[in-house]
Amino acid sequence: MSANTIDDLGLVNPLWVNSPAALLSSDARILQFMLDVECAWMAVLVEGGRADPAWLPVVTEACRVEHYNLAEIAREAQGGGNPLIPLLGALRRRVGETSPGAAARLHVGATSQDILDTALLLVARDVLTELRADLNGLADALERLAREHVGTLAVARTLGQHSLPGTFGLRAAQWLAGVVAAERQVADVLRQLPLQWGGAAGTMAALTQFAGDHALVLTDALAARLGLALPVAPWQTTRWPMTRIAGSAAEAVAACTRIANDVAFLTRPEVAEVAEPQVEGRGGSSAMPQKQNPVLSVLVRSASFQAPGALAQVVAAAAAAVDERPDGAWHAEWAPLRQLLRLAGGAASLTRELAEGLVVFPERMRANLDAAGPLILTERITAVVVPLLAEAGIPDGAAQIAAAIADTRAGTAS
Amino acid sequence: MSANTIDDLGLVNPLWVNSPAALLSSDARILQFMLDVECAWMAVLVEGGRADPAWLPVVTEACRVEHYNLAEIAREAQGGGNPLIPLLGALRRRVGETSPGAAARLHVGATSQDILDTALLLVARDVLTELRADLNGLADALERLAREHVGTLAVARTLGQHSLPGTFGLRAAQWLAGVVAAERQVADVLRQLPLQWGGAAGTMAALTQFAGDHALVLTDALAARLGLALPVAPWQTTRWPMTRIAGSAAEAVAACTRIANDVAFLTRPEVAEVAEPQVEGRGGSSAMPQKQNPVLSVLVRSASFQAPGALAQVVAAAAAAVDERPDGAWHAEWAPLRQLLRLAGGAASLTRELAEGLVVFPERMRANLDAAGPLILTERITAVVVPLLAEAGIPDGAAQIAAAIADTRAGTAS
Amino acid sequence: MSANTIDDLGLVNPLWVNSPAALLSSDARILQFMLDVECAWMAVLVEGGRADPAWLPVVTEACRVEHYNLAEIAREAQGGGNPLIPLLGALRRRVGETSPGAAARLHVGATSQDILDTALLLVARDVLTELRADLNGLADALERLAREHVGTLAVARTLGQHSLPGTFGLRAAQWLAGVVAAERQVADVLRQLPLQWGGAAGTMAALTQFAGDHALVLTDALAARLGLALPVAPWQTTRWPMTRIAGSAAEAVAACTRIANDVAFLTRPEVAEVAEPQVEGRGGSSAMPQKQNPVLSVLVRSASFQAPGALAQVVAAAAAAVDERPDGAWHAEWAPLRQLLRLAGGAASLTRELAEGLVVFPERMRANLDAAGPLILTERITAVVVPLLAEAGIPDGAAQIAAAIADTRAGTAS
Amino acid sequence: MSANTIDDLGLVNPLWVNSPAALLSSDARILQFMLDVECAWMAVLVEGGRADPAWLPVVTEACRVEHYNLAEIAREAQGGGNPLIPLLGALRRRVGETSPGAAARLHVGATSQDILDTALLLVARDVLTELRADLNGLADALERLAREHVGTLAVARTLGQHSLPGTFGLRAAQWLAGVVAAERQVADVLRQLPLQWGGAAGTMAALTQFAGDHALVLTDALAARLGLALPVAPWQTTRWPMTRIAGSAAEAVAACTRIANDVAFLTRPEVAEVAEPQVEGRGGSSAMPQKQNPVLSVLVRSASFQAPGALAQVVAAAAAAVDERPDGAWHAEWAPLRQLLRLAGGAASLTRELAEGLVVFPERMRANLDAAGPLILTERITAVVVPLLAEAGIPDGAAQIAAAIADTRAGTAS
């Protein structure tokens, strides 16, 4: 490892460093997807009789990320403002060595934003698909916990204080409700992801010039080949696909961190109602060998402080769109979109691991409930007694109950 | 006007000060909706045979915001952390003067979060409904512009530069696509808004104690009466309803600001392709009587810098939920949720006004296009010529065209 | 209270509804400060021999907020995009009734942004001054706690787990360090607040036309009269004064919420190491009379989810400045700046109240520490023993200690 | 390049991919700085007579990033929640091969947060130092522009419209004022950066156990050796150093984007008052060879949509600190802090390049001013004439001037 490189390997992102989301959204994957879109377009042209079938194997072979120097393309991206420009140059050079005709036909009618937007959607599709799987796995684990602990008494807490008796199963069911809602939202967004294909200014001018009446047919075929929805219109400056991806990822983060918040609290030694799954290599401390840290919930919680700001970045960029292609707002979207996808992917996979291995201590739950004492039943008492008192002509029953409680407490304390 | 009050009247919010959204989400409306929920619950209890029918007129009469001192309730809200506590006290006192039984039965089985969450959803429903109307009106205006200017040539701009010929109709159609997508999203969210009804700890304990098997029947009846969806579970700590309201409002803001960004640019004197509708009292300057400011687009644009942060606030609160009711995160939601609703409502109503009265100058559009010169056609030329050159054995056609253009420019410049 | 108004009285902002910050930053105060700036300018003109001394009493009398209809001015602010325009019209009409000359001289050389920016800085000065007082009061209380509990043993917690023995005094000292740093930052910002005075385009053109060489002398005199720093240049598009105010307010929020986070945890019944001050009217529940909620820390914590987004709004607006006066970014600053000032003011005043009345339970701290057991001393043991073991040729001492601990725990558990 | 890795090389961050900030804050640099801190501590121990001098060369040699597998350490960081834990293990193994005593003494009294916080501050110091250099270079360029164009007439624009005559030099001076303010802020922050050194729970317990009265002397020596300020107290949960770094970076971004916003507008063909420096490889388009994009300002502008959200992330984490070391909030800081540093570093270096090579077209500025017509002088006229009219008994002079202007315009238009 030399210090003379900007390679980032997730050193400051332990939440998602080992997640599929990280791998599925790496620089290399983005580059590969850009190549995939160029290659799919050539395949569509060939199918539509607009390109020589002999070109396709050449282009297909050339569209493998292994052929390209990612670091160089990243550096050269600054020149034109996006990475497609140097990548297309390198691709054309490679294809052109074998087939100048294919090199010239590549990318016909397209613009860099078409390729990069579509590639980012393909990245998002992969990550969101994995995210759904993790949310579903998490939901299964929560459902098991809810069923298993349907009768496990535990104190319910509101504003941090003991409020009423509840069950741990009910709590798990609440967690589940949030996860299911988030999964539904992700699924909805996955169904909506539209191809971006508009040409240099979203007018499809070059494509229409090139393919005439078949321009839309070819576009449809490209969407079908890539498995994306057909857009009503190019969305170069209408960025709802990006804000919805971001919104669904942020909702998934919230559904997970909400669980991690509880676990982080419930594993505190004073409470000790649950424990994180103990796995070799998890939870160690650099200074205190005896300490078992709730690392899963700590890392998941770290997403709760990052996702809101990342979502704000994506929305800020969307709201700043202008002209036929934006002058800076587009370029601001890529990094935060990926960051959100990774935060969601990392949070869901670790929360799933957490739920699947969660150790529950019903005795301790019962002990904490018992420690709360009989006063905890006052909501029920108040609901029943106050109306009776009122019917008996004692209108301020609630206050009297409160006074009685205060007296009891004073007695207990003394 | 005395300086000794905290009354805010929208002085620093010219974007939404005159909007229906402001009125529909005022402190007084929130208070009224809290009263409405308490009243609807009493009506449900009466219908379900769980309360004396004679109580309902008493409660109905008492549930009018006019009877209460909003400032006092706002101040007293600090004591318990939310405004329902003092409001319920005042309501019970008022009802209790006539009917102690009714006063005692009020709010049975409910907790303050049930009332306030549901009231905020009713506020959101009103604002989002109005927002849909404005987005639909805006869409109608944009459709008219798109149809009327389907053939109005204009230069398309990318990264701020002239890129290709386009039409103003196509641009209006792009604006329209974003507005329609946002309207659909708002409509989706409106269908999902769920009643919040869980009791002190989301366990429905007191309600079940009170109503036994009928607890859920009563809850269903309340949802039906208020026109809200029935929740799968209480969402006291599962805040997707709030994040989705916020997300749809932010998307509406982006759809509007994206238009305002264009108009703010197109009304600049150097461009002058459109003008804002001139209305008496709009667009003046305190120092320069001759100046006509594009105030509508300026104010709409102001939302683009506020909505992302407000959305981040709502999501941060959702992600911080804990226990059976959160210890601070819930309290953080109310103000930013309202702010987002107002930003969206204000932006949509002003953008609608802007689009309905937009003055278009086709001659100036044509002049700007002509000024761009013949070079603007190069996307089409490149698409057609490069493949021909390639077939003729000249693989680097694009570079040669670029060189030719550079020569032409140099010639023009000299 | 009628529902037909947008009056907001802090109903959804229990954190700051009763704070001086709310009052000091109300719409009425902003209006008054705009009038104060206009009046101070007239006084400067009179002193500088550029206005008739007889005008000053007329203007002074007219510059009282009581004379104006705030709601009307707020509504009319939409026309020109800011509230100074209708206010100046109303002021001129009022002054003009008595003294047309004074009415015409008012505002000479100024633009609406000069008045509103400066007024907002005067608002910020008042709130930040009050904030300093509260932070200093909070620091005093924390210092007392630190001194009093210098020897109060308590368990130190890291990642939620028991780590080492500490003292409650040390914890209070840590809280103090953050509060002192925040107070220093606020004090620094207070020293920097610069007058905004640039005329319609920041060129001082009209003022120079009017006053010639004395333009800067008059500007200096205005800054001195208002107690503001003299700016190097007009900052109409150079918004560091706004971002620094916002940054210091956000830092104050963080210093307070960091304390509230601890108190919210320490007051949980399982921990019970501290209690919030019990005051009549604080901490009640609508459904459970027995419950004592830690309302102060809950409300303070609510700021932690709002301040980051509000700061993002102010910075987003600053980063979007353009031209000689921005086309929307300026208008986006006002509301979030005020929101941040109120969040900081509310958080500091409630945290001060919390610290001044905090009830500490040393016995319970000791009990929690004892429950942590002797293993908690392992950091010290490891630090001493591992090197000794190493010198004795046992290089993996830390691992052996960890193993011994695991054995001990297993023994304890069995 | 294989797709089977998460290596990121800045592909989606063209703003900063080539900046020193990227290199200075890479994963490898962070790793190296963590090693540097461990090494410096050993040197301090040796100097203080607390470690064998023979150990230092062993440790020094081992503390080179080249020896370690960054990817592996990043992956293993998930186990304990931070990268120091696996790094320290690897370092100890390496040192232990030669010198078990040194291996055991390494890190004595420290905790992972001490090392990582301090390393991140050293990263920040490097980036901020480079940032200052770029801001100073940018300031020099702006000063040259301001001097050179002190008399270059140009129209001043407010709310997008022509307002008054100004000069390009004045505009450059305004840009300069913002850059100088930002540079001062960065310099202030650089002076404040404090060593973090508190041990496992911020109590310095192990260090005091180990070194007795010399604990603070050793800590001082470490701060001095690393060139950091000595903290008043450990700041493990008092995160003002992080929020101030972030705040100063965000202010630098705003100072730069404010310039880029202007340049992006002024390079638009309809305005054409300036051009970006033309450099081989900058500004190309994938579809339109004739197009010269203002890539520098576009990329700099992209920071304006990202910095606010990143700042919100850092502040959210700071505000969520709890206990003696936070349970998730700490882990959330690292990525956004680095992102902000890179955004600021990238923005400053590109804005400097932009300003140093900015091409100014005074003739076009003059032409745009002339096109604004004589009406643009109305601010001055109004300032002079209105008082005269008032003295002559005509109180509504401003309205009369406005009417005259309207007549003139009507005449011009007809």
Chain A, chain D: beta-carbon pairs less than 8 Å apart: 328
pLDDT digits (tens, 9 = 90+) for A302-328: 999 999 999 999 999 999 999 999 999
The answer to whether B300 contacts chain A (CB < 8 Å) is no
Tell me what pLDDT residue D116 has.
98
pLDDT digits (tens, 9 = 90+) for C199-247: 888 888 889 888 988 999 999 999 999 999 998 889 999 999 999 999 9
Q: Cβ separation of A88 and D338 shorter than 8 Å?
A: no
Tell me what pLDDT residue B1 has.
47
Residue of B nearest to C34 (CA): B11
Strand C161-167 and strand C274-275: the pairing is: unpaired
Please give the Cα distance from B235 to A178 (Å, whole number).
Answer: 8
Tell me what pLDDT residue A206 has.
84
When pLDDT is averaged across residues A227-256 and rounded to a whole number, the result is 96
User: The tokens of C43 are what?
Assistant: 């006084």
Tell me what pLDDT residue B201 has.
82
Q: Which one, of C6, C20, C333, lies nearest residue B7 by Cα?
A: C6
Tell me what pLDDT residue C398 has.
63
Selecting from A164, A178, A321 the residue whose C-beta is nearest the C-beta of B240 gives A178
pLDDT band at residue C180 under the 50/70/90 scheme: very high
User: The tokens of D213 are what?
Assistant: 């009265």
When pLDDT is averaged across residues A279-305 and rounded to a whole number, the result is 82
Chains in contact with B via at least 3 Cβ–Cβ pairs below 8 Å:
A, C, D
Tell me what pLDDT residue D121 has.
98
Q: What are the two backbone dihedrals, phi and then psi, of residue A80, each rounded to the nearest 5 degrees? A: -100, -5
Please give the Cα distance from C410 to B349 (Å, whole number).
Answer: 68
Which residues fall within 8 angstroms of residue C197, CB to CB, at 6 or more apart? C110, C114, C118, C204, C207, C219, C222, C223, C231, C234
Dump strand ranges (E) for C79-184: 153-158, 161-167
Distance of residue B309 Cα from the nearest chain D Cα, in angstroms: 8
Q: Cβ separation of C288 and A157 shorter than 8 Å?
A: no
Asked if B392 contacts B400 with a C-beta cutoff of 8 angstroms, the reply is: no
> Which stretches in chain B have pLDDT values below 70?
1-4, 284-291, 374-414
The answer to whether C391 contacts chain D (CB < 8 Å) is yes
Tell me what pLDDT residue B387 has.
66
The answer to whether A300 contacts chain D (CB < 8 Å) is yes
pLDDT band at residue C375 under the 50/70/90 scheme: low
Question: D299: which chain C residues are within 8 Å (Cβ-Cβ)?
Answer: none
pLDDT at C412 over 50: no
Tell me what pLDDT residue D201 has.
82
Asked if B177 contacts B169 with a C-beta cutoff of 8 angstroms, the reply is: no
Tell me what pLDDT residue C280 has.
77
Q: Cβ separation of A7 and D14 shorter than 8 Å?
A: no
Tell me what pLDDT residue A2 has.
57
The B residues from 257 to 296 touching A (CB cutoff 8 Å) are 257-258, 261-262, 265
Name the more confident of C410 and D398: D398
Mutate to test the interface with A, among C261, C288, C305 (most CBs of A within 10 A): C288
The answer to whether A381 contacts chain C (CB < 8 Å) is no
Asked if D229 contacts D193 with a C-beta cutoff of 8 angstroms, the reply is: yes
User: Angle at the Cα of C318 (from C315 to C322), degrees rounded to 5?
Assistant: 150
Please give the Cα distance from A184 to A205 (Å, whole number).
Answer: 38
User: DSSP character for A154?
Assistant: E
Q: Is D137 helix (H, G, I), strand (E, B) or coil?
A: helix
Tell me what pLDDT residue B292 has.
79
Please give the Cα distance from C340 to C348 (Å, whole number).
Answer: 12
pLDDT tens-place values along chain D, 414 residues long: 455 678 999 999 999 999 999 999 999 999 999 999 999 999 999 999 999 999 999 999 999 999 999 999 999 999 999 999 999 999 999 999 999 999 999 999 999 999 999 999 999 999 999 999 999 999 999 999 999 999 999 999 999 999 889 999 999 999 999 999 999 999 999 999 999 998 888 888 889 888 988 999 999 999 999 999 998 889 999 999 999 999 999 999 999 999 999 999 999 999 999 999 988 777 766 666 556 789 999 999 999 999 999 999 999 999 999 999 999 999 999 999 999 999 999 999 999 999 999 999 999 999 999 998 766 666 666 666 666 666 666 666 666 666 655 555 554 333
The answer to whether A398 contacts chain C (CB < 8 Å) is yes
Tell me what pLDDT residue D4 has.
67
Active site residue A325: yes
pLDDT at A333 over 50: yes
Q: Cβ separation of A332 and D30 shorter than 8 Å?
A: no
* Interaxial angle between packed helices D55-62 and D84-98, expressed in degrees from 0 to 180 and rounded to the nearest 10: 130
User: The tokens of B325 are what?
Assistant: 């009711």
pLDDT at C386 over 90: no
The answer to whether C49 contacts chain A (CB < 8 Å) is no
Compute the radius of gyration of chain B from its Cα atoms: 28
Tell me what pLDDT residue D45 has.
97
How does the average pLDDT of chain C come out, rounded?
91
Q: Cβ separation of A295 and C160 shorter than 8 Å?
A: no
Question: C110: which chain B residues are within 8 Å (Cβ-Cβ)?
Answer: 286-287
Widest Cα–Cα separation across chain A: 98
Tell me what pLDDT residue C411 has.
44
How does the average pLDDT of chain B come out, rounded?
91
pLDDT at A37 over 50: yes
Tell me what pLDDT residue A407 has.
55
Name the more confident of D405 and A293: A293
The interface predicted TM-score (ipTM) is: 0.94
The answer to whether A250 contacts chain B (CB < 8 Å) is yes
Question: B158: which chain D residues are within 8 Å (Cβ-Cβ)?
Answer: 285, 291, 293
Question: B359: which chain D residues are within 8 Å (Cβ-Cβ)?
Answer: none
When pLDDT is averaged across residues A267-284 and rounded to a whole number, the result is 88
Burial of D275 (0-12, 13-18, 19+ CB in 10 A): middle
Name the more confident of B4 and C45: C45
Please give the Cα distance from B153 to C206 (Å, whole number).
Answer: 42
Please give the Cα distance from B101 to B50 (Å, whole number).
Answer: 12
Tell me what pLDDT residue B413 has.
33
Question: A405: which chain C residues are within 8 Å (Cβ-Cβ)?
Answer: 289-290
Tell me what pLDDT residue D385 has.
64
With the C-alpha atoms ordered D19, D25, D27, D28, is the resulting torsion angle positive or negative?
Answer: positive
Please give the Cα distance from B22 to B127 (Å, whole number).
Answer: 9
> What H or E segment, with its residue span, contains residue B164?
strand B161-167
Tell me what pLDDT residue B302 has.
98
Active site residue D285: yes
Question: D244: which chain C residues are within 8 Å (Cβ-Cβ)?
Answer: 185, 247, 251
Residue of D nearest to B409 (CA): D290
Question: D181: which chain C residues are within 8 Å (Cβ-Cβ)?
Answer: 238, 240
Tell me what pLDDT residue B205 has.
82
Q: Cβ separation of D379 and C206 shorter than 8 Å?
A: yes
Residue of D nearest to B379 (CA): D288
Q: Cβ separation of D308 and C305 shorter than 8 Å?
A: no
